[in-house]
Amino acid sequence: ASVMEKILQRKSVRMRNLQRAWQDSPEGMKMLAFRKSLPAYKEKERLLSAIARNQVVVISGETGCGKTTQLPQYILESEIESGRGAFCSIICTQPRRISAMAVAERVSTERGENLGESVGYKVRLEGVKGKNTHLLFCTSGILLRRLLGDRNLNGITHVFVDEIHERGMNEDFLLIVLKDLLPRRRDLRLILMSATLNAELFSSFFGGAPTIHIPGFTYPVRTHFLEDILEMTGYKLTSFNQIDDYGQEKLWKTQRQLLPRKRKNQITTLVEEAFNKSSFETYSSRARDSLACWNPDCIGFNLIEAVLCHICRKERPGAVLVFMTGWDDISCLRDQLKAHPLLGDPNRVLLLTCHGSMATSEQKLIFEKPPPNVRKIVLATNMAEASITINDIVFVVDCGKAKETTYDALNNTPCLLPSWISQASARQRRGRAGRVQPGECYHLYPRCVYDAFAEYQLPELLRTPLNSLCLQIKSLQLGTIGEFLSAALQPPEPLAVQNAVDFLKKIGALDERENLTNLGKYLSMLPVDPKLGKMLIMGAVFRCLDPILTVVSGLSVRDPFLLPQEKKDLAGTAKSRFSAKDYSDHMALVRAYEGWKDAEREGSAYEYCWRNFLSAQTLQAIHSLRKQFTYILRDAGLLDGDAGISNNLSHNQSLVRAIICSGLFPGMASVVHREKSLSFKTMDDGQVLLYVNSVNARYQTIPYPWLVFGEKVKVNTVFIRDSTGVSDSILILFGGALTHGVSKGHLKMLDDYIDFFMDPSLAECYWNLKEELDRLIQK
């Protein structure tokens, strides 16, 4: 045996001793007893032998049966026990960063260790992992990134791809890549894990891989639909307007056919009213107003409140899980409930939230037992549907919707709005109530609406823009984009693929022959949307990274400007104070962030946020993301080791505007002035509207011919969210041209561009830095 081999053998012995010591300790035994009570344990031997004998195994089982925390751990334990611990390297992917972190933490605890010993995690921009880590939980995005540098996953012995039933884009993508890799790595084991029973689909994708089902035990859950809930709570619906938030055009249409057969009770009358044209239009315009948010004045929140009161007053003890659509709603509802005499009383109710961007400390609270006689209520996004299991839930309140991006390939527009969940999701949500004792589930929609739900949700690959994905296909050298994607479980539309390729060509990440350019290579190294990646690179090269870091972090976290429904005007005015005469939401964000930093220094950050309708939590997240982007840029060689980020050109407003444009291009709309009113036209699909909270929505005139924007969102009409005004010269200089390399003809055109020379500072830095940019991009 080689020296290396000997070292590993010795290490394996140490690992085994540690493991046995824990298993023999009193706490270890207690933990083991708990683990043995999970349904997965009964299948342990069968699972291990199936994995040993087959390269691919598909495993399904009820949420909470122990797939994620137990199966990878079984492999680790058995390898360690057989004295091969140091030779194995197990990866388990999760669709969301928060579940990767939570699960790693949990498995460490179950093994009596600290995080970062034998078990670690890695998510975008963060991770805990040591030289003894042999089981790594990571997001599926991280594994894809790893494949970038290591196409054969050398050294990895087992890959678990978890939650494949969700059909996330990264998971679907991973499956194609791994399928391609398996023949080259005969010794690699691939285990797919899924919560629902469509295991056959995945098994046949891998040429009939064996499937194992873990039978789980759950208690019966009593189901209540809106009809029953109204009766039970005495809640009165007074008009159609009160149920419109459940409505969505398509579903109502489906409903129309179902209705005549339904009982003519109060609900169906109301639903029928909805088909009456005028009220339908009211619905549409109101939905547009609230831009895909639930309107807290509406039934949504008040009904939830009524149901929660009912549970607290009349029902047996047990925690409550409320499924909402997103962070905005959750925080609005939480504020509303906090003001309630019963639900807001901390001696009687422990009100918690569970969503993708919560802090770790908050995360731990959800799993803890509340004090006696205090009822735990968790407001959650659909994250709590499958990836996170809260043990003591007895009551589930399901709003029936989840925020989902859909993609309108024809208009090349992502649409983000709460849409109805599928029947599979509704069942999954209901199941969360029956884990420890018989439970109750309150669906806040009529039974007939449930019947009209789709059976399963559409895979993400078929409902999102494919820009990042196509960039990754190229950087992983997986061949022609179209051909590669046609091997997917359910391939996306050719038009969607074409749009993505065109986009990557436009921003200069791919050349005419679909080959990756140097810019494209850099972009694939940055874990952000290609647009934002480009903005960062340009910010670094042009020495104005400081404000650009804020813009990019803001765009990748979420908008820190709050827009409470009942104070829209005040909030809008507060935001516009940050815009000066910039005509830019992005620069308003930079000012707001900088003001917050100053306020923090003076100890008045809280007041500052309150006064300006800013979310301190979001600003904090932006702050830490800024730091992380700096590290990555440094790693990628785009930033000198010791050069600070607040470099000399950060205060050059036109330059910052230009860099924003370079990232957001080709997202642009022309500003059309008519008498007294403004309208906006994009290149492809005509008229767009500005989001109510955009600073640019408050002007009568805008002294720029163009607005660049990052995102078009379709909610009945197409909206643009954040925008920045730019001039013709900026658009020509920083839009497409730079990254394609500037041709002689182009330079001539620029020379002729008078506007350009009217801004000498911009001209100067352009010429000074163009050489550097060329050098970098050629590298």
Q: How far is the CB of 193 from Mg ion (least distance, A)?
A: 7
Q: Which of residues 65 and 688 has its CB atom nearest to ligand ADP in the complex? A: 65
Q: Which of residues 41 and 629 has its CB atom nearest to Mg ion in the complex? A: 41
Scanning residues 192 to 231, which ones bind ligand ADP (CB under 6 A)?
A: none
Q: HEC string of 560-602?
A: CECCCHHHHHHHHHHHHCCCCCCCEHHHHHHHHHHHHHHHHHC
Q: How far is the CB of 25 from ligand ADP (least distance, A)?
A: 19
Q: HEC string of 499-560?
A: HHHHHHHHCCCECCCCCECHHHHHHHHCCCCHHHHHHHHHHHHCCCHHHHHHHHHHHHCCCC
> Which residue, chain included where needed, has tokens 């992380």?
628
- Taking alpha carbons only, the member of 436, 434, 318 closest to residue 377 is 318
Q: How far is the CB of 384 from Mg ion (least distance, A)?
A: 12
Q: How many CA atoms lie within 13 Å of 525's alpha carbon, on the beta-carbon side?
A: 18
Q: How far is the CB of 195 from ligand ADP (least distance, A)?
A: 7
Q: Which of residues 64 and 446 has its CB atom nearest to ligand ADP in the complex? A: 64
- Taking alpha carbons only, the member of 588, 558, 557 closest to residue 575 is 588
Query: Which amino acid makes up residue 556?
Result: S
Q: How far is the CB of 459 from ligand ADP (least distance, A)?
A: 20
Scanning residues 42 to 71, which ones bind ligand ADP (CB under 6 A)?
A: 61, 63-70
List the single partner that 609 binds among Mg ion, ligand ADP, none, CB under 5 to 8 Å by kind: none
91 bridge partner residues: 136, 159
Q: How far is the CB of 215 from ligand ADP (least distance, A)?
A: 12
> In the structure encoding, which two tokens stand for residue 580, read together?
């000066």
Distance CA 189, CA 54 (A): 8
DSSP 147-199: HHH-TT-TT--EEEE--GGG--HHHHHHHHHHHHHGGG-TT-EEEEEESSSTH
Q: Which of residues 47 and 298 has its CB atom nearest to Mg ion in the complex? A: 47
> In the structure encoding, which two tokens stand for residue 404, read together?
């989902």
Q: How far is the CB of 205 from ligand ADP (least distance, A)?
A: 21
Tell me phi and psi for residue 280, to 5 degrees: -65, -40
In sequence order, the 6+-apart residues with CB closer than 8 A to the CB of 711 are 414, 667, 720, 721, 722
Q: How many residues does the chain have?
A: 779
Q: How far is the CB of 391 from ligand ADP (least distance, A)?
A: 5
Q: Which of residues 370 and 736 has its CB atom nearest to ligand ADP in the complex? A: 370
Q: How far is the CB of 199 from Mg ion (least distance, A)?
A: 15
Q: Count of residues binding ligand ADP (CB under 6 A)?
A: 15
Q: How far is the CB of 27 from Mg ion (least distance, A)?
A: 24
Q: How far is the CB of 77 from ligand ADP (least distance, A)?
A: 15
List the single partner that 753 binds among Mg ion, ligand ADP, none, CB under 5 to 8 Å by kind: none
Contact 69, 104 (CB under 8 A): no
Q: Which of residues 67 and 626 has its CB atom nearest to ligand ADP in the complex? A: 67
Q: How far is the CB of 196 from Mg ion (least distance, A)?
A: 12
List the single partner that 147 binds among Mg ion, ligand ADP, none, CB under 5 to 8 Å by kind: none
Q: Count of residues binding Mg ion (CB under 5 A)?
A: 2
Distance CA 96, CA 91 (A): 15
Q: Give the strand pairing for 211-214 and 319-323.
A: unpaired
- Does the footprint of ligand ADP cover residue 104 (CB under 6 A)? no
List the single partner that 474 binds among ligand ADP, Mg ion, none, CB under 5 to 8 Å by kind: none
Q: How far is the CB of 53 from Mg ion (least distance, A)?
A: 24
Q: Which of residues 112 and 414 has its CB atom nearest to ligand ADP in the complex? A: 112
Among 18, 38, 333, 688, binds ligand ADP (CB under 6 A): 38
400: region left, alpha or beta (phi > 0 left; psi from -120 to 50 alpha): left
List the single partner that 547 binds among ligand ADP, Mg ion, none, CB under 5 to 8 Å by kind: none
Distance CA 61, CA 213 (A): 6
Q: Which of residues 95 and 725 has its CB atom nearest to Mg ion in the complex? A: 95
Q: Which of residues 60 and 413 has its CB atom nearest to Mg ion in the complex? A: 60
Nearest residue relative to Mg ion (C-beta): 68
Contact 216, 61 (CB under 8 A): yes
Contact 117, 133 (CB under 8 A): yes
Contact 432, 319 (CB under 8 A): no
List the single partner that 38 binds among ligand ADP, Mg ion, none, CB under 5 to 8 Å by kind: ligand ADP
Q: Which of residues 67 and 96 has its CB atom nearest to Mg ion in the complex? A: 67
Scanning residues 673 to 692, which ones bind ligand ADP (CB under 6 A)?
A: none
Distance CA 249, CA 275 (A): 10
Q: How far is the CB of 96 from ligand ADP (least distance, A)?
A: 13
Q: Give the strand pairing for 211-214 and 221-224.
A: unpaired
Tell me phi and psi for residue 324, to 5 degrees: -120, 180
Contact 538, 545 (CB under 8 A): no
Q: Which of residues 429 and 543 has its CB atom nearest to Mg ion in the complex? A: 429
How many distinct helices (H) and strands (E) make up the chain? 34, 23
Q: How far is the CB of 39 from ligand ADP (least distance, A)?
A: 8
List the single partner that 630 binds among Mg ion, ligand ADP, none, CB under 5 to 8 Å by kind: none
Scanning residues 371 to 400, which ones bind ligand ADP (CB under 6 A)?
A: 389, 391
Q: Which of residues 384 and 476 has its CB atom nearest to ligand ADP in the complex? A: 384
Q: Which of residues 40 and 481 has its CB atom nearest to ligand ADP in the complex? A: 40
718: region left, alpha or beta (phi > 0 left; psi from -120 to 50 alpha): beta
Among 367, 456, 699, 753, binds ligand ADP (CB under 6 A): 367
Among 76, 92, 102, 192, binds ligand ADP (CB under 6 A): 102
Distance CA 712, CA 414 (A): 7
List the single partner that 70 binds among ligand ADP, Mg ion, none, CB under 5 to 8 Å by kind: ligand ADP
List the single partner that 389 binds among Mg ion, ligand ADP, none, CB under 5 to 8 Å by kind: ligand ADP
Q: Give the strand pairing for 717-720 and 712-715.
A: antiparallel
List the single partner that 106 binds among Mg ion, ligand ADP, none, CB under 5 to 8 Å by kind: ligand ADP
Which spans in 649-736 are helix H?
653-664, 728-732
List the single partner that 69 binds among ligand ADP, Mg ion, none, CB under 5 to 8 Å by kind: ligand ADP
Q: Which of residues 67 and 134 has its CB atom nearest to ligand ADP in the complex? A: 67
Q: How many CA atoms lie within 13 Å of 348's alpha carbon, on the beta-carbon side?
A: 13
List the single partner that 475 binds among ligand ADP, Mg ion, none, CB under 5 to 8 Å by kind: none
In sequence order, the 6+-apart residues with CB closer than 8 A to the CB of 303 are 229, 233, 235, 444
Q: Which of residues 69 and 696 has its CB atom nearest to ligand ADP in the complex? A: 69
Between helix 545-556 and helix 653-664 the angle, nearest 10°, is 40
Give the number of other CB atoms < 10 A from CB of residue 24: 10
Query: Which amino acid makes up residue 55?
Result: Q
List the single partner that 94 binds among Mg ion, ligand ADP, none, CB under 5 to 8 Å by kind: none
Q: Which of residues 99 and 524 has its CB atom nearest to ligand ADP in the complex? A: 99
Contact 392, 369 (CB under 8 A): yes
Among 12, 19, 60, 68, binds Mg ion (CB under 5 A): 68
Contact 322, 380 (CB under 8 A): yes
Residues that bind Mg ion (CB under 5 A): 67-68
Residues that bind ligand ADP (CB under 6 A): 38, 61, 63-70, 102, 106, 367, 389, 391
